[in-house]
Amino acid sequence: MYISIREKKFGLDKSFCEISFYKSDNIIDLYEPIARCEISYNKTVNKGELTFLFVKENYRKIGFGKRLMKLAIENATKNNICNLTVYAKPHSNPYMTKQQLINFYEKYGFKITEDTVEGTYMKCELLPTSI
């Protein structure tokens, strides 16, 4: 198993983090992650948004989503992010219902801030390490 955490900065206050799991560090396996998430940060207001989370079908239900969420929250905390948001939308994830998505994110401290027919906005308050 190979884990990649890449961060990119955009100006002084915005950054992006991509966390990916690969089957191995073999060059062939590095073309396609088996699990990945993306987080964008606005450090001026200490907020972040989990914009993407995906686990390949053959690797579901064995802890990759959990590992991604833990690493995403650790990374956000390390970057002094106080609020992490996510928009849980079932039409972009055909493998989970809206309620399953909500239940998944609630396990990591996210709470519903707005619920619509299309999806659910959720927020998690974090305690940054150096504020």
Question: pLDDT tens per residue, the chain (131 residues)?
Answer: 889 999 999 888 899 999 999 988 776 666 789 999 999 999 899 999 999 999 998 998 999 999 999 999 999 999 899 999 999 887 766 778 888 989 999 999 999 999 988 889 999 999 856 44
Count of domains for the chain: 1
Range of the domain at 30: 2-125
Please indicate, yes or no, if residue 131 is contained in any of the structural domains.
no
For the entire predicted model, the pTM comes to: 0.87
Please indicate, yes or no, if residue 94 is contained in any of the structural domains.
yes
Please indicate, yes or no, if residue 32 is contained in any of the structural domains.
yes
DSSP secondary structure of the chain: -EEEEEEEEETTTEEEEEEEEES-SSTTGGGS-SEEEEEEEETTTTEEEEEEEEE-GGGTTTTHHHHHHHHHHHHHHHTT-SEEEEEE-GGG-TTS-HHHHHHHHHTTT-EEEEE-SS-EEEEEE---S--
Please indicate, yes or no, if residue 103 is contained in any of the structural domains.
yes
Q: In this structure, what CATH number is given to the domain that contains residue 90? A: 3.40.630.30
Please indicate, yes or no, if residue 130 is contained in any of the structural domains.
no
